[in-house]
Structure 1
Amino acid sequence: METKLTVREQVLDHAITLMMLRGYNGFSYRDLSELVGVKTSSIHYYFPSKDDLVLEAVNQYSGEVMRALQTVDPALPANEKLTRYTRMFGKTLGDGDQICLCGMLAADIGTLPETVREAVQAFFRANESWLAKVLAQGVEEGTLVARGKPESAARTLFAALQGSVLASRLFHTKARLEDVEATWKAVP
């Protein structure tokens, strides 16, 4: 039996999708009211301001990504962990028309309130931290290649992954994302 989403959950889900497609400035409460089928005043009941809504959307999205990372088996070799991570990025692309919520919001950083900016930065740091551990493991195993310290290599890799989803969206192909993953794998 399917569980029906509450109005609040529907608003959040649609807000996340719209931001992944259009960014922070590319949607309004009117858009959400039409999608959910409620008055904008109902949305304001749950989220008094757009900043409140966006912060909650970032927290929900970030939590989902972090929970997904926790499901990656720690016993896997690092190159397989990186493959799973890259697949997660690929799922974010959907039909090729949306990108990572926090990547999209990072492009809008100049118009974001401080609380949202801090939440997006925390998302980036958490992903970079996870990747640094995977890269360090991979270098030790000989399954991944990383130059320099794992932390700086992880920042470079995460930036490349974020950029690859932009290019994948632009060219309507996930090959750009796959190219980034292949760059970090050691030649057997």
Structure 2
Amino acid sequence: METLPVRDQLLQHAQTLLMTRGYNGFSYRDLAALVDVKTSSIHYYFPAKDDLVLEAVRLYSSKTLSAMRHIDASLPPETKLKRYADQFGALMGDGDRICLCGMLAADITSLPDNVRHAVQAFFEASEAWLAKVLAEGMKQGTLHVSGNIECAARSLFAAFQGSVLASRLFQSKARLRDVVNALKSK
């Protein structure tokens, strides 16, 4: 089995720590123990924790948004939302993780501006994609949305983020499906 380069291992473990503990819940010492390196080695790749977290957010955002954008455009809107919910569920791993950007949003007062902007960009891109799907579903009559589509997309994204928190709390991914089912037309 091929071992990942140290930098990639650091980013992989940092993402997991961010998704389970948040920005303030881990240190370079924690990360060094997981990768079996000295903290000075981490500083070689990421001089400050902010550098590490920003790169982790960029990597996570790129991967997550790419998967979202690769949901088959020809699928019905309600199926796209189900696939989106499935992706959110996959983020949870064994149920102990939440969306990395959602976790960081909870730590917003501790984040440096560049990380905060990267988290905001993730939220905005997700909300824009959801707005397109909701508009399509409204047009086809398969999804019900009250009011402004952009407001509904922001509310839907917040519902997905909240459902991941509740799913973690109750150790059940069923709450993700509840979000999608609440939008379907009768």
Shorter chain as normaliser: what TM range?
A: over 0.9
Distance 1:160 1:149 in 2: 16
Residue 28 of structure 2: aligned partner: 29
Distance 1:79 1:175 in 2: 16
Q: Does the residue aligned with 1:166 lie in a helix, a strand or coil?
A: helix
Residue 120 of structure 1: aligned partner: 119
Moved more, 166-175 or 131-140: 166-175
Instruction: Please report how far the alpha carbon of residue 181 of structure 1 lies from its aligned counterpart in structure 2 after TM superposition.
Output: 1.2
- Report the count of equivalent residues: 186
Residue 53 of structure 1: aligned partner: 52
Distance 2:122 2:138 in 1: 24
CA contact (8 A) 2:78 2:180 kept: no
Q: Does the residue aligned with 2:34 lie in a helix, a strand or coil?
A: helix
Q: TM-score, normalised by structure 1?
A: 0.97
Identity %: 64
CA contact (8 A) 2:82 2:177 kept: no
Residue 133 of structure 1: aligned partner: 132
Ranges in structure 2 where 5+ consecutive residues have no aligned partner: none
Distance 1:124 1:76 in 2: 23
Distance 2:3 2:41 in 1: 18
Ranges in structure 1 where 5+ consecutive residues have no aligned partner: none
Q: Deviations over 1:45-76 (max 9, x none)?
A: 00000000000000000000111022111111
Say what the alpha-carbon RMSD is for the aligned residues: 0.8
Residue identity opposite 1:166 in structure 2: L
1:68-83 to 2 correspondences below 5 Å: 68-83=67-82
CA contact (8 A) 2:143 2:183 kept: yes
Residue identity opposite 2:110 in structure 1: T
Instruction: Please report how far the alpha carbon of residue 185 of structure 1 lies from its aligned counterpart in structure 2 after TM superposition.
Output: 1.4
Q: TM-score, normalised by structure 2?
A: 0.98
Moved more, 139-148 or 118-127: 139-148
Distance 1:3 1:101 in 2: 26
Instruction: Please report how far the alpha carbon of residue 131 of structure 1 lies from its aligned counterpart in structure 2 after TM superposition.
Output: 0.1
Distance 2:178 2:68 in 1: 21
Distance 2:148 2:2 in 1: 46
Deviating 4+ runs (over 6 angstroms) = none
Residue identity opposite 2:128 in structure 1: S
Residue identity opposite 1:113 in structure 2: P
Distance 2:77 2:177 in 1: 16
Distance 2:9 2:51 in 1: 15
Distance 2:177 2:78 in 1: 13
Q: Does the residue aligned with 2:42 lie in a helix, a strand or coil?
A: helix
Q: Does the residue aligned with 1:18 lie in a helix, a strand or coil?
A: helix
